[in-house]
Amino acid sequence: MRHLLPEVICKIKRLDLRAKLVVEGFLSGLHKSSYKGQAIEFADYRPYLPGDELKRIDWKIFAKTDKFWVREYEEETNLRAYLFLDTSGSMKYKSKEMSKFEYASFLAAAFAYLLFKQHDSVGLALFNKNNYQYLPPQFSKSHLAKILEIIESVKPEGETDIYKSLTDLGKKIKKRGLIIIFSDFFDKKENILKGLKNLRHKKNEVLVFHILDPNEINLNYEEPLTFKDLETKREIKLDPRSIKKEYQETLKKLFLYYKQECAAHYIDYNLIFTNMPFDYAFFSYLAKRAKIK
């Protein structure tokens, strides 16, 4: 399924086409989807009007009142979802064709498209330390277009404060739902968990995609280098070969910490690398959705 590979998607210029290609490609690969179709729920009664379908008449009400009343229905959105996208400067990093932010933005756009196809309402939040942009959930084609337009226009910059960002955005959410977070989580691990737990304490379901470049793990450099922090602009000179083993062991412990702490608070944690096919993230989402249902 080449259309789910990052190196294929990054060659397409328009974000809406990327999102559609990823989602349609994923859905076509499923033998059976339990999320297709339109959900309908009863809303209210109103007096019968000429032209109304007879099958909508409630005959029990007629027997009691000797008047014709019809049942009205409304479209039921299966889920209210919030996409949280990290726009801090560290997300700009890339070792190959696609940066962490490009991968995250493609994934967020694809989720918006998938949620729309499932008749779910979807909102968007962009965040870094000093700024955030919030678009409340809705279900409409124009709303989906607005989400894609915003994602495509943003440029990652600024520093990270995950706890502050998640806390501020959490206050914006008036009705609980599924919060899907895309970030490299370059912040203190304790602050990250505090922010995530705050969202859970508000009865939200939380799905986390921890997005990293493979080179941030492998540290495959063969000579001393100067490393520059993309957020603070701080520089440090070192020989990666001298710290590689200890560095990778530290990261393994960090990932295990996130996995265990998130599991303890019923937060779904997924470690994603920018060379992974996008379907991995979708399967994680479907598993989370099945738990919610």
Please give the average per-residue pLDDT across 35-56, as a whole number: 60
Contact between 93 and 107 (Cβ < 8 Å): no
Q: DSSP secondary-structure letter at 267? A: -
Half-sphere exposure (CA, 13 Å, Cβ side) for 117?
17
CA–centroid distance for 102 within its chain: 14
Q: The domain spanning residue 85 has which CATH number?
A: 3.40.50.410
The answer to whether 46 touches 74, Cβ cutoff 8 Å, is: no
Residues 63, 163 within the same domain: no
* 102 and 194 share one domain: yes
Pairing of strands 225-228, 178-183: unpaired
pLDDT tens digits for 222-253?
A: 888 898 889 888 999 989 899 999 999 999 99
Phi, psi of 80 (to 5 degrees): -110, 115
Q: Which residue has the higher pLDDT, 75 or 221?
A: 221
Tokens of 168: 């501020």
What is d(CA 267, CA 104) in angstroms, rounded to the nearest whole number? 19
Residues 64 and 109 in one domain: no
**What percentage of the chain reaches a pLDDT higher than 70?**
89
Q: For the CA atoms of 197, 262, 281, 17, what is the dihedral angle to 10 degrees?
A: 20
pLDDT by residue (tens digit) across 101-145? 999 999 999 999 999 988 899 999 999 998 889 999 999 999 999
Task: Mark whether 288 and 232 lie in a shared domain.
Answer: yes
Predicted TM-score (pTM) of this structure: 0.81
Please check whether residues 110 and 226 belong to one and the same domain: yes
Residue 45: beta bridge partners? 71
Q: Is 62 found in the same domain as 132? A: no
Query: How many domains does one find in the chain?
Result: 2
pLDDT at res. 92: 96
Dihedral angle at the C-alpha atoms of 173, 174, 180, 184, nearest 10 degrees? 20
Torsion of CA 100, 292, 118, 6, to 10 degrees: 20
My answer on whether 68 and 162 are in the same domain is: no
41 has a pLDDT exceeding 50: no
* Domain hosting residue 46, numbered range: 40-75
pLDDT number for residue 32: 41
Closest CA to 109 of 200, 9, 208: 9
How many Å separate Cα 93 from the centre of its chain? 20
* Res. 211 pLDDT band, cuts 50 70 90: very high
Given a cut of 70, is residue 259 above it in pLDDT?
yes
pLDDT in tens, 156-165: 999 999 999 9
Residue 77 has pLDDT above 60, yes or no: no
More confident site: 31 or 163:
163
What is the reported pLDDT for 75?
45
Q: Measure CA 190 to chain center.
A: 22
- C-beta separation of 178 from 80 below 8 A: yes
Q: Tell me the pLDDT band of 293, cut-offs 50, 70 and 90.
A: low
Residue 258 has what pLDDT? 97
Torsion region of 185: left, alpha or beta (phi above 0 gives left; psi -120 to 50 gives alpha)? left
Residues 67 and 211 occupy one common structural domain: no
